Structure formats: structure tokens, C-alpha cells
Structure 1
Amino acid sequence: MPNFEHPEYPEATLLHLESVVPCRESQVSQLLSIFGELPHVFVNCAECFTSRLLLEEILTQLRSLSSEDKPGFHVSCDTFNDFIRLFKQEINAQGLQNQTVYIVLDKAEQLRDMEANVLPGFLKLQEMTDRNVTVVFLSEIVWELFRPNTGCLEPLTLYFPDYSIGNLQKILSHYHPPEYSADFYAAYINILLGVFYTVCRDLKELRHLAALNFAKYCEPVVRGEASERDTRRLWKNIESHLKKAMQTVYLREISSSQWARIQQDDGEPGHLKGLSAHAHVELPYYSKFLLIAAYLASYNPARTDKRFFLKHHGKIKKTNFLKKHEKTSNHLLGPKPFPLDRLLAILYSIVDNKVAPTANIFSQITSLVTLQLLTLVGHDDQLDGPKYKCTVSLDFIRAIARTVNFDIIKYLYDFL
């Protein structure tokens, strides 16, 4: 555990931190009193979703704390035992033996899905390394839901309560556009929270919704039909717009321009579901590759993956693959379920270096399921992990593939 004694921090430091993290004054003050300002590494466990990626990222960031090492230096690490040895070496090399080093693990619940020794290992890291190190777990779930079954050290827990509606009002109002007054934007946020607060308390989503719908709220002012103080007319203009947005609260994958086009449709909000929504959806670059990988996993036999996706595999001859039950086109039989690990293996094969490796893969998979572009057909239990199927048509995936210059036909077994 870190030393709780610390020098008094100037008021300017506290004010700066409270401006960065508003409405968390009590927690910020408590954390600062415990930790202070010391060397740290910060890793998102959802992005580094295997133990090897996680351990290597920690070591790489630790080495980059020294200005002598060039950015981009990579440290290889295969096992947790290797991590202990390399971690001690890095601490000594960086001259940090007399300082507390902090390892901050965001989305820490992901550690449950890694090897059984990873989570207990981080809980006992100070003891195992004999170095002054503190591991901080960040999670949106309670500790009891991912405590290891084996004996382990219990962490010191600090709970962050949900934001109250007053907190959300204060935080969201802070981001008002400079061309409008703070009072005008605060009135808009009041209206927005009045609609969405009962169904959505997530600050990021509410901030996204606020930015997405503000232009509609301003329309009467822009057209000169109302003043900034004419709240009644402004509410009447945006009321139906916000009710329609209630059907799709999580719009992370839809751009502002396309949401505006959706609002101009004459159809009922309930019709904006499943495949009928595909024409309106603009996917982020990385999600497009995820969807392409899912389509390939759904329509290619699993045993063909090595020939399609491993380099230097040689020419594929369909006659060598064909089995009796495969005389019928896979596209006529429909999509088959595939496990998550197969999806990720195909993804990394086709992505190569075209996108940043730090993209949040699992949240984007969830978004594709929410948009009904993927279907979750398995269940995550002790015997079997989740399985998915891709629900889009060939024409749709070809259109998606063209936007990222990927020739999907070359990778489909049915078209050999």
C-alpha cells in the first residue's frame, strides 16, 4: 500500500483537478491525499484483451517513462513470470527503486477472462516483485463480481456514486458552444435531461446526445422565428425530434448528418430497426473491418481459415476442400455461428496495419449487435463462450468493403 502521508498540495492543483473532473471533488481530494503525483502507466484492459498484450503494454509504457528511450519501443513478454522479472529490471533501469510506481488498469473486469494467475498476480504484485508498486483497478462493476475464487489480497475500494441530475446539468452545461450564451445552452440541457434522464444516466452518452440534437433546438433561433428566451417555442420544435431519438439512445455509430436525415423520414420510429436501418448507418472505419471479418466467419468453413488468412499459404484449390455437405453454396444455407476468438483471428489478418491497434474492439462488437448487424446466438457461461452470426446481405457487405478498399470476394469460399 502507498504511504498516506503527503505534503499539502496547493489550492491551484486541487482547482485544476476539479475542473478536469467536475462534481468529484471529494473523490479527487481523497485520491490525491493517497497517491499524490508519481510515475504511473495507464492501460485499458478491453483494448489489451489478452494477458500478453496487457503485460507488454505495461512494460512498454514503463520503459517510455525515461526520456532516453524513443517512442514506439516495444517490450516482449509471454508469461506473468516473465513479467515479474522484466518489471523488476525496468524499475532498476529507470532508477525508480525509491519511488512508488502506479499501474492503473481501466476496465479491470476484463482480467476475469484472462489466465487464472493474472488477476491474483496483480493483487500481489508488490509482494512478488519486492518493489514499491501499487495497482489501481478501475471498473464499473463491484469488486464482489470479479473476486478470484482462490485466496487473494483484498483491495482498498473507493466508490464513485452516480451523478445526480444536478451534477449532469452542471457538467453538460459546461460544454456550451461559444456562439450561444451559457443560459441558453443550460435551458437546452434541462430539456434534454427531462427526456432522457429516466432511461440514460451515462455521461458520455448524454453528452453525445446533447451535441447531436442541439442544432435542431436552435432552428427557430437561426431562422429568426424565436429568441433564445422563447423556451416554449423551442421545446415545441424539438419535442418530436427527441421522442424519436428515444428509440435509439445509443447512437455512437450514427453520424450527426445521418441522424438529421433519419429525422426527415416520414416513416414511424419503430421501423428503424434491423436490416431496414442499414442504409442510414455510417460505421466507423474499424467497425467496418469487424463486420467484414464477421461475414467471412459466417460464410466460410472454419477449416479454410488457414488457407485464406495465413501468409504464404499457397494457391487455394476448391476441389481439395469440397465435402459432400458443401456442394450447396454456403450463401444459400445462410450464415453459421462463429466464436469470438475466430472473429478476432480473421480481423487481425485482414486489418494488417490499416487501423490503430488500440481501438476498443469489444465495445464496437456490442455496437454492431445493438444495430442488429450481428446477432448473439451463444451465451457466455463456463462451458461455452459467446457466438455470433452476421446478418447483413452480400450486397451490403460488398458496399462496406468497397469503402475500405477490401476485395471481399477474394476471401469468400463460395466464389473460388
Structure 2
Amino acid sequence: MEGLLEHPGYDGEKLRKVSEQLPCREVQAGMLLSLMGEPQQYCYPSLFIYGHRASGKSHVVNLLMKELELPHVTVSCVECVSAALLFEQVLLSFFGCDAASLLPRSPSLSDFVRIYKQRASEFPSKQTRYIVMEQAELLRDANVNLLPALLRLQELDNVSVILLSEIVWDKFRPNTGCFEPLLLHFPDYSKAELLQILSAGRNPSYSAEFYSSYINILLGVFYAVCRDLRELQHLAALNFSKFCEPVAVGKETETHKLWKNIEPHLKKAMQTVYLRELPYYSKFLLIAAYLASYNPARTDKRFFVKHHGKIKKTNFLKKNEKTSNHLLGPKPFPLDRLLAIFYSVVDSRVAPSASIFSQISSLVTLQLLTLVSHDDQLDSPKYKCAVSLDFISAISRTVNFDIVKYLYDFL
């Protein structure tokens, strides 16, 4: 949307180019520009920009820095595995290799501050310098003095530190205290915004209307599970050829018939999305649900109670139980049994909370669990697990859990 990005001190044509490359993020870019002020002015010492993955944080910040030609350095906290690499990258970008070479072999924070202060006085900048820290949550594992020092770096120079993170500041703030940054939230893209962004990447061989109908179908399937723009872009590119197959051979052009052709491919792709997108505890809840559905209840002591004694399979095998539970299909189980197994298999202590119960509801919404009790049985709802052995095995591998060791059929 042209005209939304307007700020004194910046070239209007450059702002227009930036706006064209930031669909559905013009508001956040405008707020960031307001916080940064004019190039020659002092910006706020530190900004903390947070939001879920692929919500446009890095794209907006780096595009503004590049297109507006602002002096900056972008540091990946994943790549900078030590403070020494961070110090070297900052000095190299702002003052050249001569400044970086002044660092000793194992530089301390005071070494960096001394060299930065010296070089900043020798080579003052007419504009604010920016240090952009991507995946900044990793700074929590660094030296306790590093983050507080970065947030006060403006005491040495006209420099501002911008922290980009997927977690909120309350979980980020050091226990020792520090200078508080200004907070800027990047919300998830709405369904309409994702439709607009994804539709812009259409194949030029097809009409905008045709590609938009495909994106509508894609979002109808995946939006409840995945809001990650990069993931959705990958899925759109991956499955479009299958959507187009009937058109390519001159068969059908009606949308509902095109849907029938692509439906099995989207269902297959959905499984890989679950592997990447399900929250950590949701994976363990699904594992617990599978175990509850396919293991007899009387075997729970054998699998999930420590110091249960030596129990052989023949001791609790009923005479009429000769058929595999996997052939009989999933059996319903009560909520309390699901939670008991969950707290046994999860590899860390988890307090019962509204978050755990909401994740169970989400699994039902995603049709990974099925609610089988009647609506009036609010005190003891019953569920069934609705996923296959291959699927739960893949989920288990992502959390390093050997599910076969806990399945009665495989004893």
C-alpha cells in the first residue's frame, strides 16, 4: 500500500520501494520507523521485536536497513557461537578489519567495549548505527553480562541494538536486571493476509483467479495447523503441479473436481506439517493417546509404573485375547488415563495446566483425536486416537521416544 510508509529524513522513493516489498507489514514497518526516528537522530538504545516464526520480523528490519542504506550489522546468534565472534563481526562491519584485529585471542567484554569506544570516537557516524541480533533468545545462554552490556551500548556511541526473538520479553529478561528495551510485537498473518501474500507468488502460466482458488483450498486445509508463511510457501510450490494435472491433460477445470485430484496429496503433506508444527507437549499427548488406544488398561502398570516388579506377558494375557489390538482398531479411553500416561512418558515434570487441556482440544480440532463420549459426560470425556502406527512412529522420532517399547502388541 503506497503512501503508508512516510517519515521525515528518508527519501520518499526509497520508502515506496520498501512498502512494495512488505505486503501486510506496512503498519509494523511504519511503527519501527517512528521508533528509529530520522537517520541523524539518536534512536532508542534498544528495541525488542518479538513474534512467532515467519511473521516478518527479520524481513522488515533487514529490508529497511538495506533499502534506506542505514549503517548496520546483522548478527545471527545461531552462527555466532561465542561472544568473540559477535565482537569481531560488529567491529568488522562498523570499523573495518583493522579494528577487529585489535581483539585479543579470547576477548572479554571489556576488551570489546574499549576498542569500540576508541574507534567510535575516531570515526564518528553521522547516522545511528544499528546492531540487529537475530534469534536473540540464544543470548540467554551467553555470559550473564553480555545482554545488559549490549542494551547500554548507546552510552559509547549513537548506536541502537535491535533484538529479534520468538519469545516474549518476560521470558527473556535477565534475573540480574538490565536496561529495558522498547517492545514491538509482530502478530501472525491473518488468513486474508496469507491469501494475499501467497497469491502474489503465482505461476505466470496461470491466471490470478485460478491460482487464488488454489491458495484458498490450500489455506482451507492447512491454516488451522500452520501459520508459518515459509512453510505455506513451500507447500504451495510443492503441490501446485498436482492441482494443475487435470488442466494440463485437458480434463477438468471445475474447482471441486480439481480438489478431488489434489486431496490425497494434501493429506499426505499434512502429516509432514504435523511433524514440524505440533508443539512439544502436544506430541507427547498424542503419543499417550495412541498408547491408551492400543494398550489394554491393565497393562499400564507394566509399562508406566516404576518398580512394578517382574510381570510377564503371559501373566496378564486373557485366553480370548489372540487378536492384535492394532487389527481391532483404537479403543476409547478416559481423560484421566490419558493424562496419567502423558505424565509418565514426558521427559520433564509438567504441572497440570489450562495449556495442557487446550492442547488436547486442539488435537481434537485437528482430528488427531476423536471425542467419543456424549456431550452430557463433562466429568469424564472419552477419546480415541485417530492416527496410524507409521504416523505416531514418525512423531515419536522427533522427540526421541521409542514408542514400540511401550506397545503391548510388540512385546
TM-score by length of 1: 0.54
The answer to whether the 8 Å contact 1:220/1:234 transfers is yes
**2:127 maps to what in 1?**
99
What is the Cα-based RMSD across aligned positions, in Å?
Answer: 3.0
Q: Distance in 2 between matches of 1:195 and 1:157?
A: 34
The answer to whether the 8 Å contact 1:205/1:250 transfers is no
**1:295-306 pair list within 5 angstroms:** none
Cα deviation for residue 163 of structure 1 reads 0.8
**1:232 maps to what in 2?**
256
- Assess, with a 3 A threshold, how the Cα gap between structure 1 residues 245 and 374 changes in structure 2: closer, same or farther: closer
Cα deviation for residue 10 of structure 1 reads 4.7
Write out per-residue CA displacement over residues 237-288 of structure 1, whole angstroms, 9 at most, x where no aligned residue. 0011101111101789xxxxxxxxxxxxxxxxxxxxxxxxxxxxxxxxxxxx
The answer to whether the 8 Å contact 1:112/1:146 transfers is yes
- Assess, with a 3 A threshold, how the Cα gap between structure 1 residues 376 and 111 changes in structure 2: closer, same or farther: farther
Cα deviation for residue 188 of structure 1 reads 0.8
Q: Distance in 1 between matches of 2:195 and 2:135?
A: 26
Write out per-residue CA displacement over residues 346-405 of structure 1, whole angstroms, 9 at most, x where no aligned residue. xxxxxxxxxxxxxxxxxxxxxxx988778658xxxxxxxxxxxxxxxxxxxxxxxxxxxx
What is the one-letter code of the residue matched to 1:206? L
What is the one-letter code of the residue matched to 2:117? K
- Assess, with a 3 A threshold, how the Cα gap between structure 1 residues 110 and 74 changes in structure 2: closer, same or farther: farther
What is the one-letter code of the residue matched to 1:224? G
The answer to whether the 8 Å contact 1:17/1:28 transfers is no
**1:361 maps to what in 2?**
none
Write out per-residue CA displacement over residues 205-260 of structure 1, whole angstroms, 9 at most, x where no aligned residue. 11111111111111111111123xx21111110011101111101789xxxxxxxx
Q: Distance in 2 between matches of 1:206 and 1:74?
A: 46
**1:187 maps to what in 2?**
213
Query: Per the alignment, in what secondary structure is the counterpart of residue 120 of structure 1?
Result: helix
- Is residue 184 of structure 2 the alignment partner of residue 152 of structure 1? no
The answer to whether the 8 Å contact 1:56/1:74 transfers is no
Cα deviation for residue 122 of structure 1 reads 0.7
Cα deviation for residue 156 of structure 1 reads 0.6
Q: Distance in 1 between matches of 2:115 and 2:106?
A: 8
Q: Distance in 2 between matches of 1:124 and 1:170?
A: 40
**1:331 maps to what in 2?**
none
Query: Per the alignment, in what secondary structure is the counterpart of residue 135 of structure 1?
Result: strand
**1:192-341 pair list within 5 angstroms:** 192-227=218-253, 230-249=254-273
Partner residue of 2:84 out of 52, 70, 75 = 52
Query: Per the alignment, in what secondary structure is the counterpart of residue 246 of structure 1?
Result: helix
TM-score by length of 2: 0.55
- Assess, with a 3 A threshold, how the Cα gap between structure 1 residues 77 and 207 changes in structure 2: closer, same or farther: farther
What is the one-letter code of the residue matched to 1:32? L
Cα deviation for residue 44 of structure 1 reads 1.1
The answer to whether the 8 Å contact 1:102/1:133 transfers is yes
Cα deviation for residue 88 of structure 1 reads 2.3
- Is residue 110 of structure 2 the alignment partner of residue 86 of structure 1? no
Cα deviation for residue 117 of structure 1 reads 0.9
Query: Per the alignment, in what secondary structure is the counterpart of residue 189 of structure 2?
Result: coil
Q: Distance in 2 between matches of 1:74 and 1:232?
A: 67
The answer to whether the 8 Å contact 2:102/2:115 transfers is no
Q: Which has the higher contact order (CA 8 A, sep 6+)?
A: 2
Identity %: 53
The answer to whether the 8 Å contact 2:246/2:252 transfers is yes
Q: Distance in 2 between matches of 1:21 and 1:148?
A: 33
The answer to whether the 8 Å contact 1:49/1:110 transfers is no
- Is residue 192 of structure 2 the alignment partner of residue 163 of structure 1? no
Q: Distance in 1 between matches of 2:264 and 2:198?
A: 22
Partner residue of 1:134 out of 155, 160, 172 = 160
The answer to whether the 8 Å contact 1:125/1:133 transfers is yes
Query: Per the alignment, in what secondary structure is the counterpart of residue 181 of structure 2?
Result: coil
What is the one-letter code of the residue matched to 2:124? L
**2:30 maps to what in 1?**
29
Question: Across the two proteins, how many residue pairs are aligned to each other?
Answer: 248
Cα deviation for residue 115 of structure 1 reads 0.9
The answer to whether the 8 Å contact 1:77/1:83 transfers is no
Q: Distance in 2 between matches of 1:77 and 1:12?
A: 45
Give unpaired runs (5+ residues) of structure 1.
253-368, 378-416
- Assess, with a 3 A threshold, how the Cα gap between structure 1 residues 49 and 245 changes in structure 2: closer, same or farther: same
**1:172 maps to what in 2?**
198
Query: Per the alignment, in what secondary structure is the counterpart of residue 158 of structure 1?
Result: strand
What is the one-letter code of the residue matched to 1:21? L
**1:39 maps to what in 2?**
71
Q: Distance in 2 between matches of 1:236 and 1:179?
A: 22
Q: Distance in 2 between matches of 1:83 and 1:150?
A: 21
Q: Distance in 1 between matches of 2:102 and 2:239?
A: 43
Cα deviation for residue 33 of structure 1 reads 2.9
Q: Distance in 2 between matches of 1:209 and 1:251?
A: 14
- Is residue 115 of structure 2 the alignment partner of residue 114 of structure 1? no
Give unpaired runs (5+ residues) of structure 2.
1-5, 40-67, 277-392, 402-411
- Is residue 36 of structure 2 the alignment partner of residue 12 of structure 1? no
The answer to whether the 8 Å contact 2:137/2:167 transfers is yes
- Assess, with a 3 A threshold, how the Cα gap between structure 1 residues 91 and 177 changes in structure 2: closer, same or farther: farther
Query: Per the alignment, in what secondary structure is the counterpart of residue 131 of structure 2?
Result: strand
Q: Distance in 1 between matches of 2:92 and 2:400?
A: 35
Partner residue of 1:62 out of 94, 97, 100 = 94
- Is residue 151 of structure 2 the alignment partner of residue 123 of structure 1? yes
Q: Distance in 1 between matches of 2:184 and 2:194?
A: 21
Cα deviation for residue 62 of structure 1 reads 2.1
Q: Distance in 1 between matches of 2:398 and 2:16?
A: 45
- Assess, with a 3 A threshold, how the Cα gap between structure 1 residues 240 and 182 changes in structure 2: closer, same or farther: same
The answer to whether the 8 Å contact 1:14/1:29 transfers is no
What is the one-letter code of the residue matched to 1:216? K
- Assess, with a 3 A threshold, how the Cα gap between structure 1 residues 376 and 58 changes in structure 2: closer, same or farther: farther
**1:286 maps to what in 2?**
none
Cα deviation for residue 86 of structure 1 reads 2.1
